[in-house]
Amino acid sequence: MQNKSNLIITVIFFLTFIIHFAIWKFAFHLDEVVIIKFYLFLAIIFMMMITLIVLINKIVPQFLGLAVIGLILVKFGMMYMIKNKLHFEEIPNYKFHFIIPYFVLTALLTYYAIRLINYDKKQ
């Protein structure tokens, strides 16, 4: 289960980045440094969250759902802080460019947690 789920999440993450980068660079002709910094931040946070979900699942699996909600709130707070550092407001349609990838990765995080919960129930 884990290998298939990990592969799906990894492929969707990279597809999200490639599609968004193509739109960013070729359709809007914007600077690629900001998008690369943004996705680097998202990748680090995403991997940290996945690691925490796996650890929480091994230590206290009955609280995994609550932990995912808390991690999403922490991720939201971190996004708010990084928004001010990268000056997103200077980019046209910045809400489109930064909120959609955030929600895609949050959906992937939730999908991973649901897969873990369902896998544990089957055991």
Give per-residue pLDDT as tens, 74-84: 999 998 888 88
Distances from the Cα of 35 to the Cαs of 26, 72, 97, in angstroms? Answer: 13, 21, 9
pTM, whole model, 2 decimals? 0.86
Give per-residue pLDDT as tens, 34-85: 888 888 988 999 999 999 999 999 999 999 999 999 999 999 999 888 888 8
CA atoms within 13 A on the CB side of 23: 14
* Residue written as token pair 């550092």: 85
Give per-residue pLDDT as tens, 18-34: 998 898 888 888 888 88
